Amino acid sequence: MSKLHENTNARLIYRVVLTAVAIGALVFSFLGNKPIMLYFTNWSVWFAVAMTFITFIGTLMSRFKGDDSLLDNKAVLLLKFCAAVMIFATFVVSSFVLPEKLWTGSFWTPGGTFKHFLLPVLFIADGILCDKRNSYKIYFVFAALAAPIIYWTAVITRFLSYRNSIGGAIPEDQWSQYYPYGFTNIDNGHTLTFLIALLAGIAVGLLITGFVLFLLNRKKQK
């Protein structure tokens, strides 16, 4: 398996499976909690699915035309790396933080299985096993923070703007429209300072994750 990136047939088979899982995750992302645009999980799924499709096309070009231009494209590799870091955050939070944890039965609903487990695990493994060695650059690690920062900035700005417009706390019957997760709810026992500190900790974790993925992509010296 360590040579999967050099075996075009095996790499294609793996990515056929990954693409099938990505389609399943995409479908379930539109069948989950509403509004669907509010959830980090869905954004990470859509990002990973888009990169899965692009990577699959590149793999077909490599296998049948001997053309690796799409797979070797630095912009594609960068975006794929960013998607891997983002969906890793989804996997960790979904598996160990949210109520529907990995060891509970509610985690293993069809939608949860595809979005929170199968797609994250297979997508991250794809980068480790299938991407060419030494194809990642160190700046990928820092660039991977961009999408999460944009998402959380948008979420916080949205609920703070609404709180300001109504002159106080968001009514409980509207929480689901503004707070995607319990730890984001500053009207239910948490503070904005707590949330920002938590997100800063998550950012550090994502930096470490990105650095680990970068190191795993390094070619071992003989």
Handedness of CA 215, 216, 218, 222 (dihedral sign): positive
CA 120/CA 4 separation, integer angstroms: 19
Among 188, 180, 194, which residue's Cα sits nearest to residue 40?
180
Per DSSP, 137 falls in state -
Q: What pLDDT does residue 220 have?
A: 64
Q: Are 41 and 94 in contact (CB under 8 A)?
A: yes
CA 81/CA 210 separation, integer angstroms: 8
**Phi and psi based region of residue 197 (left: phi greater than 0; alpha: psi -120 to 50; beta: remaining):** alpha
Chain-centre distance of CA 20, in angstroms?
Answer: 17
In a domain, 190, yes or no: no
Q: Burial, 171: exposed, middle or buried (Cβ in 10 Å; 0-12, 13-18, 19+)?
A: exposed
Query: Token digits for 61?
Result: 């070009």
In a domain, 47, yes or no: yes
In a domain, 208, yes or no: no
In a domain, 198, yes or no: no
In a domain, 170, yes or no: no
Residue 100 belongs to domain spanning: 4-134
Number of domains, the chain: 1
In tens digits, the chain (222 residues) has pLDDT values of: 447 777 889 999 999 999 999 999 999 999 877 889 999 999 999 999 999 999 999 999 999 999 999 999 999 999 999 999 999 999 998 888 777 888 888 888 999 999 999 999 999 999 999 999 999 999 999 999 999 999 999 999 999 999 999 988 999 999 999 999 888 999 988 889 999 999 999 999 999 999 999 999 997 644
